[in-house]
Amino acid sequence: MEPAELFSLDIEIRHSASILYGEKHRGPFAHWPRGCWGSANAWLMLCGPSPGRADGPNQRSLGGPERPRDVPVSIGKESGKIEFESNKGRNKRWQNLVRAVFGDEETSASLTCVANLDWGNYGDHRDIPTTHFDEGCGTVLKVMQSSQPCVVITLVTVTWDYLAAFLSEFFVELDLQPPLVEGRKPLNCRVMQLPGCIHKTLLLKSPQHPSRQFFTNTHCHQIAETVRWFREMHL
């Protein structure tokens, strides 16, 4: 049995336990479905519709059913570091997002993962068959139960719509009053109690996708303040 500290709601406790675990254990902690990667005990999960365009025409997957489960994930230092090899211009924006949540680069690189509703390569999520999203919600839920994230951020509206509907049975009825940041309306969010999870989880809709040039520091600040509100409410 793995130590409970690896899945703690407290960022500092989870991070310290992860570093110690990574120093003692080499190799994968688990294998995840394609389109999902990062830290096996991520405190923060970023959910997209799909991995995006393929690097080349011969590498493209159409996604859909029978998703392979062959992505090794680990626990420890930099197990969740976000550093795309293609379209590198998005790296800074994604890294700004996770640093805004955690407050520092070391922790974010250890406790972040990405989970996509589909594993196909689509440059535009509107091209993804809706049946892929239906099936993908169940796949992502299993990844959530495995990694036990404290915060799940959906990156586009379609991901929020499908996941929020699929996970609604786990919503906790609370009088949610997320903060207004810089005069902007509060971000869409719900608090969940996932099956088998030892803590509650915040489901949050990002105001913009970090791969897009329109993603700004203001968006990062909105997300960070909403996560801070959630932490203060539960810690």
8-59 pLDDT, tens digit per residue, is: 999 999 999 999 999 999 899 999 999 999 999 999 999 999 887 766 566 6
For residue 187, the enclosing domain spans 4-234
* Ranges of residues in the chain whose predicted pLDDT is under 70: 1, 54-59, 175, 234-235
Total structural domains within the chain: 1
Tokens of 187: 């971000």
pLDDT at 22: 96
Question: pLDDT for 93-103, tens place per residue?
Answer: 999 999 999 99
Three-class HEC string of 177-188: CCCCECCECCCC
Calculate what percentage of the chain has a pLDDT beyond 90.
74
Closest among 201, 219, 203 to 211, alpha carbons compared: 219
Q: What is the pTM of this model?
A: 0.94
Q: How many CA atoms lie within 13 A of 40 on its CB side?
A: 21
- The CATH number assigned to the domain holding 204 equals 3.40.470.10
Instruction: Identify whether the C-beta of residue 177 lies closer than 8 Å to the C-beta of residue 127.
Output: no
